[in-house]
Structure 1
């Protein structure tokens, strides 16, 4: 007798995905969403690294010279770095990333130079006008050492000693020359010595720099690329804090109006209508004038307080629609507190709409900040801002018929365009991922 064994195979079923899993699954399939996330991620990385990746790591990327103003992209200039005779604290990498590293040197653009004795002779950079200029000179000690500023009796005492009786005091700083050797007072008023050969080698090694400007320079001779990189931080910080303020005010007022209704709803809706009727730029100007300040924090507050109305309208509509949902009626029937119903049952279900609105408000905040900076009402110089850079380019082009300075216009404009576009596309993609029915497919 033969026994036949039958293998019964059952179809495998995958467990149902939760709402968040479905949301991220749809979002990953959207090319616009992925591209936008890549752009936003790079922008955030650039903003965080800031001074660590900027060619000019001084605070506000403010190391420039008017002699090299409005250089076109791809320019290269030779610089002599002259000591400013100040002690500069060296920051660790974290503080340098956040605040930059102050430079102890002032830059002097030159066409050429040569060293003769204790002096460096140079021809200043005048490629912009093509005129011939006389040769200038600078003492090597003034260029290389942090000298003591002010009157001090120590050098006079040294000259009266046997060691300094054959030395000659200089009128260019607190130092004396003794043939091929020099004695000088450092920034702490301590007497130091250095030889001519040492100071010449030090100058050639540390005081001469060939600086390349990938995106050219602005009207103050500062590196445009560095100011664009720091501008990422300003724009994203303004957007983040403005959205945070808008969400805090908009979600609070919108949820209260939609949940309680009645006279509370009418008062809040009236207030939203009044604020909504005022142009955003005028409201920001009014807030700035009322606070009598144009600082960066005032810009955060002013932009945030103009973006909350749309958030409140969306949240109010969503809460009013959820009030008749069966699970809300059930929560009321069992005697759940109003605060519990609002915070635990309603607001989590409008989170998707809030996230989508936050993405749109982020892009809007960047545009508002750029507009305020363009008008001179946003962040103030020397803090770099994309809107301020656009204004500089606009003024340069308006004063000159040539294309000189056009890079000041298109470089920050492109940054504004690509960042705002990324946030808008991400907002649309999140809306479609949250509610697939809203994604309209066009067939041609």
Structure 2
């Protein structure tokens, strides 16, 4: 007897591993997930929401370099290590872009950076409480790999922190849609009759309302905000799951193993959860991957319309909204970079959905 497992799960996994784009998409999604969780550890600007503004260096091209004077914060608010890691630093230093400076007797005289050939204002700050070495460490050269946005914020940091919203809305929305969709679809498919008619009426009414319009209505009812968007998107995704589960259960409840379970006296809850659902999860997994992509697009659309994540929170959709006019002003990268991020993440979920569909198809 061969030691190699011939179970359907093992066979599906083997088929999935042979799909290059499926495996590539899987690891790409894992990478985005890692970035989402540890965004503030990776981002050059680790302030909350990566919101350090430098209006004098707004809309600079990728690779822009400037000398930065950091004035230590006088706030003494305690912030734990985990809080800083997952939510950003509160006690951030004030950063001032400068073009030149001189240090004399613990006094720093600097000229503020000014673009377009203008001369910046010259100021002097007293750092008598710091040593000469500590003063020198306050002045560093900073590189903005993706350039700066229209407020002078580091675009790379905003992209990294913004990945968190786009990534986690997929998980929350799919979780809500699975809970509601599997419950409604299971009841409708298993019991049929009037129960099925009522649930299908609810499904058809919900299905007839445009998704974006329904999300906007729910968002306005719950209020603008971070979690409100997550809930609103999740409440619009359950219909597809319910229809798929209902159809699968209608077919599965006539199978012999269900008849045997009924003959053994098992209750309906056990038959549905222990016997039917585990055997029909393949199409549900595939549609969940598609819902991930749809949730990201809906959230981006809401943020673009201004009813998604609210400023100063970083969101890819909001970044496109803030900078789409720059496409015709010679700085298209401000809108193209977050657009490419949305496109690549959505494409990854669609590709992994296609790969799962092929792997879980028993006919192949």
What's the TM-score bracket when you normalise by the shorter of the two chains?
Answer: over 0.9
Q: Equivalent residues in 2 for 1:289-328 (5 A)?
A: 289-291=220-222, 293-328=223-258
Cα pair 1:87 1:104 within 8 Å, conserved: no
Name 2:100's counterpart in structure 1.
Answer: 112
Cα pair 2:36 2:160 within 8 Å, conserved: yes
Name 2:271's counterpart in structure 1.
Answer: 341
Name 1:412's counterpart in structure 2.
Answer: 338
Q: Equivalent residues in 2 for 1:96-245 (5 A)?
A: 96-117=84-105, 119-127=107-115, 129-133=116-120, 135-141=121-127, 194=129, 199-205=131-137, 207-245=138-176
Q: Equivalent residues in 2 for 1:16-27 (5 A)?
A: 17-27=6-16
Deviation at 1:336, TM superposition (A): 2.3
| 1:234-263 C-alpha deviation (Å, 9 max, x unpaired) | 111111011100000000001110001001
- Is it true that 1:421 corresponds to 2:347 in the alignment? yes
In terms of mean alpha carbon deviation, does 23-32 or 100-109 score higher? 100-109
Equivalent of residue 381 in structure 1, options 295, 300, 311: 311
- Is it true that 1:28 corresponds to 2:26 in the alignment? no
CA distance in 2, matches of 1:85, 1:395: 38
Query: How many residues are matched?
Result: 364
Cα pair 1:91 1:101 within 8 Å, conserved: no
Equivalent of residue 214 in structure 2, options 283, 302, 318: 283
Name 1:41's counterpart in structure 2.
Answer: 30
| 1:16-40 C-alpha deviation (Å, 9 max, x unpaired) | 6111111111111111211111111
Name 2:58's counterpart in structure 1.
Answer: 69
TM-score by length of 1: 0.78
Q: Equivalent residues in 2 for 1:84-103 (5 A)?
A: 84-92=73-81, 94-103=82-91
Structure 2 SS opposite 1:63 = coil
Deviation at 1:229, TM superposition (A): 0.8
CA distance in 2, matches of 1:239, 1:271: 24
| 1:260-310 C-alpha deviation (Å, 9 max, x unpaired) | 10011011111111111111111111111112x211110110010011100
Question: Which of the pair has more CA radius of gyration?
Answer: 1
CA distance in 1, matches of 2:69, 2:264: 79
CA distance in 1, matches of 2:106, 2:167: 49
Name 1:171's counterpart in structure 2.
Answer: none
1:325–1:66 Cα change, 3 Å? same
CA distance in 1, matches of 2:146, 2:288: 33
Deviation at 1:119, TM superposition (A): 3.5
CA distance in 1, matches of 2:262, 2:46: 59
Q: CA RMSD in A?
A: 1.7
Runs of 4+ in structure 1 over 6 Å off: none
Q: Equivalent residues in 2 for 1:344-363 (5 A)?
A: 344-363=274-293
Name 2:330's counterpart in structure 1.
Answer: 403
- Is it true that 1:371 corresponds to 2:301 in the alignment? yes
CA distance in 2, matches of 1:426, 1:347: 22
User: Structure 1: any 5+ residue segments left out of the alignment?
Assistant: 1-11, 142-181, 183-193, 440-444
CA distance in 2, matches of 1:372, 1:379: 8
Cα pair 2:75 2:91 within 8 Å, conserved: no
Cα pair 1:85 1:104 within 8 Å, conserved: no
CA distance in 2, matches of 1:237, 1:22: 30
Cα pair 2:182 2:245 within 8 Å, conserved: yes
